[in-house]
Amino acid sequence: MVSVLVKEGYESCTPVKYWTEGIVSKPEYLVERKGVFMVEMRDKTKLATEVWLPKGAVGKVPAILIRTCYGRNNRLQGYFRYAMRGYALVIQDVRGRDDSEGEWLPMHYEVEDGDDTLNWIAAQEWSEGSVGTIGASYLGYVQWAAAASGNEHLKAMISIVTAGSPFIDIPRKGGTLVSGTMAWAFAMINKKVNIENIVRDDWNEVMKIRPVKDIPRRVFGRDVGFWTEWSSHELQDEFWDKSSWYRLKHKIKAPAMIISGWYDDNGMGTTEACQVVEGYAASNKKVILGPWIHNANSTREVHNVPFENNCLRDDMDYLHQLWFDRHLKGMDNGVNKGNPVEYYAVGDNKWVGCNTWPPENSSLTDMYLTSGGSANTSSGDGSLAFEKVEETGTDSYDFDPADPAPHIIDMSENELGVPENYADMEKRKDVLVYTSDALAEDISIAGDVYIEFHASSSAKDTDWVVRLTDVDRSGNSIRLCDGVLRAKFRQGFDKMILLEPGRIEKYVIKTSKVANTFKKGHKIRLQITSGAENLIFPNPNTGSNFFEDTKALVASQKIYHGGKYETKIRLPRVK
């Protein structure tokens, strides 16, 4: 909750204007604690659920539900504003966390537990049966999980930087294991969150522990239940399917406000959320995508990449309130007017409104890779062009799992998608770099980027990492988006098909979403490599069970382009 001190007469110059001039529920009530209730789930497990009510409210009221793995008292007072405006406030510790019973197995029980909790709320004497949900990250994930139950009481969601399906988002992105999520995992090894476990000066040593399944035992002297369970399921089986709300997307009907950013490390979760609401009526969806990290709408500069002052929104809390007022109280407040999608175009540094995501005025435009056979490093001869390439060619590099190319982050910051400068990293021989000529005019993109390429490896399994950057006139190569894929999952995450060494295979990798204008004089650049140290654990290239492997091999990689090997990057160009 934010307090604003305003000189009398200047209210219209501050966010106070939204709350005084808009059609919005007024803060008419004191907040009354109803108590903590151990709510029984369908398997008899009881979850600690705290209820706060608007004191003196007449009749039954709609409810706002927050389900959290970080402790229900965390940021509690920030949610009181809903009770002050006539809503019941219900905050619950998810299964296995804080005061709730049961096993802590991230994402595993949230569809059923969310469904049962919604039904419990609707049955209370103070409840009029309509429930809205709000929360970020894991607190976003549990909303979509509850919605995936098809529960009729869920009438509105506010999804902020939500997590998504495990093999599309975290922790198994592209069939790899996201090492960057270790900081979060370490914070969650006990029943109560411990943020101190995130900050370490030995992350490099921790990441080199093998086998991977033994990391908690080697670091903390004991096994961690959810890590042991994760390590027992290498491919997407029934265990991982149960953690995917997206597989039940056909049941999701609740109106949704979706908020995320280009540098959110759970960005693929929001991509899935945007796909769910594609068919929604415009009045039932609102998508806001900014130049933000996972800690959304919080800074004007991300790792020395500055944005304009307008990149921060001062109306977000107000929009949240309007969304609930419209869909839970039926107030005609205009929140569903205007464009259902708003996104921030980096480079132009402005907000753009549209009707769909990706925008209706964007279409995939292809740029083709080519070289003279020496695309290694940014000083090589790899190039990108809009014209098809007839002449075939290849580029090669060796991938050593003991020395993978870095993904530039600070592990202790727990932000995995920051727009860092990769100019120095691109000097490595194990990174292929394909760069356009300096642009003669601005080129804007908005949407999902796809990289289609043909490759072979000397190994039975390996990883492919692709990254799109914007190269400015000074040679700074700023990350825009990236994607990863474990080769043995190239035909689906539910099946493992090892490579035949030397055989050419086609791959398609979808990156995290982006909106960027490459300015005149800048260059468009694509990196292809096989490692992303700090983001994913390096593939040992053996083809064996990754969680149990202690050996590693150097893989000789080859990228094919031109002629019948139509290797290209597909950009969502805005016309």
**Position 11 pLDDT exceeds 90:** no
Task: Please list, residue by residue across 19-43, b when 16 or more beta carbons sit within 10 angstroms of its beta carbon and e when fewer do.
Answer: beeeebbeeebebeeeeebebebee
Tell me the sheet residues that pair with 67: 92
Helix (H, G, I), strand (E, B) or coil at 13: helix
The string of pLDDT tens digits covering residues 114-143 is: 999 999 999 999 999 999 999 999 999 999
Which residue type occupies 209?
Answer: I
As a 3-state breakdown, the chain gives helix, strand, coil percent values, each rounded to 5, of 25, 30, 45
Class of domain 362-574: mainly beta
Please state, in angstroms and rounded to a whole number, the distance separating the CA atoms of residues 181 and 188: 11
Work out the percent of the chain whose per-residue pLDDT is above 90.
93
Please state, in angstroms and rounded to a whole number, the distance separating the CA atoms of residues 477 and 473: 10
The string of pLDDT tens digits covering residues 220-233 is: 999 999 999 999 99
Please state, in angstroms and rounded to a whole number, the distance separating the CA atoms of residues 155 and 138: 20
What is the band of 396 on the pLDDT scale with cuts at 50, 70, 90? very high
The pLDDT mean for the chain works out to 96
The string of pLDDT tens digits covering residues 542-572 is: 999 999 999 999 999 999 999 999 999 999 9
Which residue's structure tokens are 């083809």?
A: 543
C-alpha 204 chain-centroid distance: 24
The pairing of beta strand 61-68 with beta strand 127-136: parallel
The string of pLDDT tens digits covering residues 405-461 is: 999 998 888 899 999 999 999 999 999 999 999 999 999 999 999 999 999 999 999
Please state, in angstroms and rounded to a whole number, the distance separating the CA atoms of residues 177 and 200: 20
**Position 22 pLDDT exceeds 90:** no
The helix (run of H) or strand (run of E) holding residue 384 is strand 383-385
So where are the chain's domains?
A: 18-165+243-354, 173-239, 362-574
What's the pTM?
0.96
Please state, in angstroms and rounded to a whole number, the distance separating the CA atoms of residues 75 and 234: 36
**Position 2 pLDDT exceeds 80:** no
What is the band of 4 on the pLDDT scale with cuts at 50, 70, 90? low
What is the band of 7 on the pLDDT scale with cuts at 50, 70, 90? confident
**Position 62 pLDDT exceeds 60:** yes
What is the band of 1 on the pLDDT scale with cuts at 50, 70, 90? low
**Position 202 pLDDT exceeds 70:** yes
Helix (H, G, I), strand (E, B) or coil at 141: helix
CATH of 18-165+243-354, one of 3.40.50.1820, 3.40.50.2300, 3.40.50.720, 3.40.50.300: 3.40.50.1820
